[in-house]
Amino acid sequence: MPSGIDFLSQGINGIVLGLLFSLIAIGFTLMLGVIGIINFAHGVLFALGAYFAFTLRNSLGFWAALIISPLLVGLIGIIIERLAVRRMYGKDALFCLLLTFGIAMSGEELIRMVWGKLGHSIAAPAFVSGSIDLGFMLYSKYRLLLAVLSALILFLVWLFLEKTSYGAIVKAGAQDSEMVAALGNNISRMRTLVFGIGSALAGVAGVIAAPLWSVRPGMGNDAIMPAFVIVVLGGIGSFWGTVIGGLAVGLSVSLAVMFFPRMSDLVMYILAAVVLLFWPRGIMGEKSILED
Amino acid sequence: MLVVDKINSFYEEAHVLFDVSLEIEKGEVVSLLGRNGAGKTTTVKSIMGMVRPHSGSIRFKGKEILGWQPYLIAREGIGLVPDERRIFGNLTVEKNLEVGRRPERRGEWTMGKVYQHFPQLKKLKDRKGENLSGGEQQMLAIARTLLGNPDLILMDEPTEGLAPIIVEEVMRIIRELKETGITILIIEESSTLALSISERCYMMDTGKVVYSGMASELLENPERRLALLGM
Amino acid sequence: METKDDKGISRRAFLKRSAAGLTILTVSGVPTLLRAQQPSIKIGAVIPLSGNYGFLGASERCGIGLAIDEFNSKGGLLGRKVEVAEEDCATDAALAIRKAQRLLQSEKVNFFLNGGGSSVSAAMADFAKKEGAVDMCIDPNSDILTGEKANRFFFQVPPVNYQIAHTIAPYVAQNIGKKWYYFTHDYSWGWTLTESCRKFMKEKGAQEVGESKIPLNTRDFSSFLLKVRGAKPEVVMVNVAGADFTAMVEQMYEFGLHKTAKIVIPLEDFEDAWAVGPEKNSIFTLMGVEWHYAIPGVPGINEFVARYKKLFPRASYPVPTTNSYNAYMGLRELLRAVERAGTLDAPKVIKALEGHAVKDSLKRDPTLIREWDHQFVQDFYYFRPKKKKDMKDWTDIYEYVGYGKGTDNAITKNLSQARMEKLPGE
């Protein structure tokens, strides 16, 4: 039986991972909840964030890369939305799925062409390299930074949605976009903006995750699979659902290693299946566009 | 202010409005009556740009607005208080109101004035939309639209589903708005209420306008009214 | 009697034409026979150029190139030029076999070379036997390749897990620590390496305090690393390879595992160490390495390295690695055996290989090509990370600690599962 300290250390690790998972999923949730699309390209946007940072870091340093890379990814998101995704609004959800799937596949191929097919491991920035002694355990300094950054960004998203008037428009748009338009708001521009923000969030998650999971052309899967699971777990379009879902996944993966280590990869899917049995809309879920 | 001229609107393939025409002068309160399915809401949606007529014209303050996007029509000065109210349930009262604000349209309605005029909303300002009663929601819907400082308000069935005492409250508010000189098109199934506050009225049946005249006339002639309503 | 079809060709004429066609086809088989007398000797190389072990392919190519150059620059083999036809197996066994078929049928290769991991090689072992084509296996370390899969046509160049464990485990138990924790890559290679290590660990009086099976394609090792702490091991044995290994080293460094235990890797590829960089690689206390360009006291190594650099100035790795070495050795010895046998006939080449001792093995001791399991019995080395100030350049990452003789540590006949079949005529 693992000791209390084992639980504590795995628990802390689980929360750290959970915050990263929440960050990975939040952009996906926004797009699904507000625009009503399943963005399969979320994984490739995540990968692009990591790759841009990989390239920029040597010349500009970690912090500059952390800010510029997501902006670039956000820009790409806006371009994708304006050129392609917006034509799928109002059509069967399947069309958008296929479109974003196609973008994901070609995006991955593009990454292979530009950066090569081999993976690269990314070092944590020097000031957070190596381990820190927390007394009862040694923990990775970078992971602590990662937790802080993830929490901060999630907080900024929350602030935007809850405290700004544009945030109110975005939230209202998730519920009744026709009425929001009838009140004089440009929904089309709002959707573009949300797609851009969602993409930038995927990008920043990629930058932050890169030193942890290394960059590989196929790294989008590290993002899209947990994003799906978390959205299903936490409820479509719910901010807190995403945060809770992310933490649940992070904790279950960490704790699973203590009891069923060979299943630690599968645990998140099992968890999702179990939750769905009791809460078909997820823990915080509301009736969504997908149910109509 | 508003001239709707022979519009023909469709839902999918179905032709639902046939050469519908109506006019509203500035400062008037006009009612649009008819049974369920007569085409009243479709007319409102057509004016608001949510349904696009295949032919005809809609002129607002001299401009042709047929074919405009709803948000541009709203910004031009038409406000919609829709049937079913369509409150944003996941937002608080205050946030609901914020979505209605159109700071670029200067006018008397500010958050402060709204709270002054609707003190119940002020008390409820942190309550989530989905937790409001029907009457509170109706008040919120009206206040939200007012914050856009519209020149013309389209009110679709404002008293539907409300208890009589609340209905009185809503009617009172509409009367007060009328006093401020705002132009209103009010749609109601309950003709008595609508006729009591409007000067003129139109009546629709199966997608056509079947009567246009003074409200007082219909009020004094209940048989005529019933006949027109097809009952 | 003539019958005509609607195109006006009589049946007899049709038969005549068919017969003529068939004859031409048969006669054209003659050039096929003649081709055996054609100028070049062809080697079919089924190697990993993509997939999980894609990075090995690049090194192997260089080793192949070195062997071929050695022969061709001296007039070829049996007076004929040696050529290689390369195919990417992408670390996939089924794909490897299809490509090998193609090499045999279309390219008409005379011999094979294969790499890409144990499952590819296990499949190639069966293929070699079935087709009667000699195949040199140059990268995996799985015990079954000299055990149940061993056959007369298949030769295993790298040492297998048993020998690796037998070399490393006793040294670790005696010099590094007695309480061991295993990280076992969760598939057959990992399991067998850990099993063998356990056997020798117990023999030398060390004990196991825990094991974590690491699923393939694990990205995040944090939970595994935190779990180790509770067991308080002195030694952590890392039986993990490939891309998972790279990620794992990063995270071991992040979590400071090397501060609380001594980390040992029984089998490390230079390519993996290269990928993580010398700073991260220095978390290891001991690394088992098949071959390194800077092994001291071995004649011929410097010339070999110089030849590599001259032939491949822009190779992925600036120095030859184990994988270049094994590819070179495997092919070179095959070609020498052909020379000794004086013919391309497989059974004769096989007999020329079996029992042969390779004196210029580029290792301390000669390499013996064992006839009862076809293992190239070679030395196995272990190193510690070189301190940065001692490094001559950034490929000089290993500091010599010691080695185990192949003849001392390879599996003995009584323990082996190898059962060689008889060749026709024996």
Query: Which residues on neighbouring strands pair with residue C136, listed in sequence order?
Result: C113, C155
Rounded CA-CA distance C34/C108 in Å is 12
- Contact between C373 and C418 under an 8 Å Cβ cutoff? The reply is yes
Cross-chain residue pair B71–A184, CB shorter than 8 Å: yes
What tens digit of pLDDT does each residue of B186-209 get?
Answer: 998 767 888 888 889 888 888 888
Q: What is the CB neighbour count within 10 angstroms for residue C6?
A: 5
C132: amino acid identity, one letter: G
Rounded CA-CA distance C169/C182 in Å is 12
- CB nearest to A171's CB, from B74, B90, B148: B90
- DSSP output for B133-196: -HHHHHHHHHHHHHTT--SEEEEE-TTTT--HHHHHHHHHHHHHHHHTT-EEEEEES-HHHHHH
Q: Which of residues 140-199 of B touch A (CB under 8 A)?
A: 144-145, 148
pLDDT reading at C13 higher than 50 = yes
Cross-chain residue pair A130–C246, CB shorter than 8 Å: no
Helix axes C222-231, A239-259, angle to 10 degrees: 40
- Can you say how many angstroms the Cα of residue C64 is from the centroid of all Cα atoms in its chain? 12
Task: Tell me the two tokens of residue C83.
Answer: 């050529």
- Can you say how many angstroms the Cα of residue B148 is from the centroid of all Cα atoms in its chain? 14
Can you give the pLDDT at residue C56?
85
Tell me whether B102 touches chain A (CB under 8 Å). yes
Superfamily covering domain C162-289+380-409? Response regulator (3.40.50.2300)
Asked whether at least 3 C-beta pairs link A and C within 8 Å, the reply is yes
Query: Which residues on neighbouring strands pair with residue C88, listed in sequence order?
Result: C47
E-strand ranges in A42-130 read: none
Element (H, E) at B7: strand B2-8
**Other chains touching C, judged by 3 or more CB pairs under 8 Å:** A
pLDDT reading at A119 higher than 80 = no
Bigger pLDDT: A152 or C3?
Answer: A152
Q: Exposed, middle or buried by CB within 10 Å (0-12, 13-18, 19+), for C322?
A: buried
Tell me whether B69 touches chain A (CB under 8 Å). yes
User: How many angstroms separate the CA of residue A164 from the nearest CA in chain B?
Assistant: 9
- How far from A170 is each of A78, A155, A166, C240, CA to CA, in Å? 16, 17, 6, 48
Bigger pLDDT: C307 or C187?
Answer: C307
Cross-chain residue pair A181–B74, CB shorter than 8 Å: yes
Rounded CA-CA distance C289/C321 in Å is 10
Tell me whether B86 touches chain A (CB under 8 Å). yes
Can you give the pLDDT at residue C215?
86
Nearest-by-CA chain B residue for A178: B50
pLDDT reading at C279 higher than 50 = yes
pLDDT reading at C2 higher than 70 = no
Rounded CA-CA distance B199/B25 in Å is 11
Inter-chain Cβ pairs, chain A and chain C, closer than 8 A: 99
Least confident segment among A114-128, C92-106, C354-368: A114-128
Tell me whether A2 touches chain C (CB under 8 Å). yes
Q: Which of C88, C216, C223, C228 to mutate to test binding with chain A, by most A CBs within 10 Å of its CB?
A: C223
With beta carbons under 8 A apart, name residues in chain C contacting A141.
254
For chain C, what are the domain ranges? Answer: 11-159+296-375, 162-289+380-409
Task: Please give the average per-residue pLDDT across A218-239, as a whole number.
Answer: 86
**Other chains touching A, judged by 3 or more CB pairs under 8 Å:** B, C
Nearest-by-CA chain A residue for C54: A118
- CB nearest to A168's CB, from B48, B70, B91: B91
Bigger pLDDT: C230 or C146?
Answer: C146
- Contact between C325 and C294 under an 8 Å Cβ cutoff? The reply is no
Tell me whether A189 touches chain C (CB under 8 Å). no
Can you give the pLDDT at residue C36?
47
Nearest partner of C361 among C407, C395, C318, judged by Cα: C407
User: How many angstroms separate the CA of residue B1 from the nearest CA in chain A?
Assistant: 19
Q: What is the CB neighbour count within 10 angstroms for residue B115?
A: 18
Structurally, at CATH architecture level, domain C11-159+296-375 sits in 3-Layer(aba) Sandwich (3.40)
Cross-chain residue pair B70–A174, CB shorter than 8 Å: no
Helix axes B134-146, B93-100, angle to 10 degrees: 30
pLDDT reading at C11 higher than 70 = no
Nearest partner of A210 among A55, A92, A87, judged by Cα: A55
What tens digit of pLDDT does each residue of C106-149 get?
Answer: 999 999 999 988 889 999 999 999 999 999 999 999 999 999 99
Do the domains C11-159+296-375 and C162-289+380-409 sit in the same CATH topology, yes or no?
yes
pLDDT reading at C37 higher than 70 = no
- CB nearest to C256's CB, from A130, A212, A262: A130
- Contact between B3 and B43 under an 8 Å Cβ cutoff? The reply is no
Cross-chain residue pair A179–B102, CB shorter than 8 Å: no
Can you give the pLDDT at residue B181?
84
With beta carbons under 8 A apart, name residues in chain C contacting A136.
none
Tell me whether A265 touches chain C (CB under 8 Å). yes
What tens digit of pLDDT does each residue of B104-127 get?
Answer: 888 888 889 899 888 888 998 899
Task: Please give the average per-residue pLDDT across A204-216, as a whole number.
Answer: 89
Task: Please give the average per-residue pLDDT across C100-107, as a whole number.
Answer: 93
- Contact between A97 and A38 under an 8 Å Cβ cutoff? The reply is yes
Q: Which of A162, A176, A179 to mutate to test binding with chain B, by most B CBs within 10 Å of its CB?
A: A179
Cross-chain residue pair A172–B96, CB shorter than 8 Å: yes
What tens digit of pLDDT does each residue of B7-32 get?
Answer: 888 887 888 888 999 999 998 899 99
Q: Classify A143 as helix, strand or coil.
A: helix
Q: What is the dihedral of CA A114, A118, A124, A126, to 10 degrees?
A: -80
Q: Which of A176, A183, A236 to mutate to test binding with chain B, by most B CBs within 10 Å of its CB?
A: A183
Rounded CA-CA distance C374/C150 in Å is 7
What tens digit of pLDDT does each residue of B149-174 get?
Answer: 999 999 999 988 888 888 888 888 88
Give residue C32's pLDDT band: very low, low, confident or very high (50, 70, 90). very low
Q: Strand B55-60 relative to strand B63-64: parallel, antiparallel, unpaired?
A: antiparallel
Question: Taking the model in full, what pTM does it have?
Answer: 0.77
Q: What is the CB neighbour count within 10 angstroms for residue B100?
A: 29
Cross-chain residue pair C213–A262, CB shorter than 8 Å: yes
Nearest-by-CA chain C residue for A128: C254
What tens digit of pLDDT does each residue of A89-109 get?
Answer: 877 878 888 999 999 999 999
- Contact between C362 and C291 under an 8 Å Cβ cutoff? The reply is yes
Rounded CA-CA distance C381/C361 in Å is 14
- Contact between B89 and A175 under an 8 Å Cβ cutoff? The reply is yes
With beta carbons under 8 A apart, name residues in chain B contacting A164.
none
ipTM of the complex: 0.88
Can you give the pLDDT at residue C114?
94
Rounded CA-CA distance C201/C209 in Å is 12
Q: Distance between the two ends of chain C, CA-based, in angstroms?
A: 57
Cross-chain residue pair A214–C215, CB shorter than 8 Å: no
Can you give the pLDDT at residue C7?
44
Rounded CA-CA distance A96/A89 in Å is 8
Can you give the pLDDT at residue C301?
94
Q: Which of B88, B92, B98, B144 to mutate to test binding with chain A, by most A CBs within 10 Å of its CB?
A: B88
Q: Classify A158 as helix, strand or coil.
A: helix
With beta carbons under 8 A apart, name residues in chain B contacting A176.
86, 88
Q: Strand C380-385 relative to strand C284-289: parallel, antiparallel, unpaired?
A: antiparallel
Asked whether at least 3 C-beta pairs link B and A within 8 Å, the reply is yes
- Contact between C129 and C97 under an 8 Å Cβ cutoff? The reply is no
pLDDT reading at A58 higher than 50 = yes
With beta carbons under 8 A apart, name residues in chain B contacting A179.
82, 86, 88
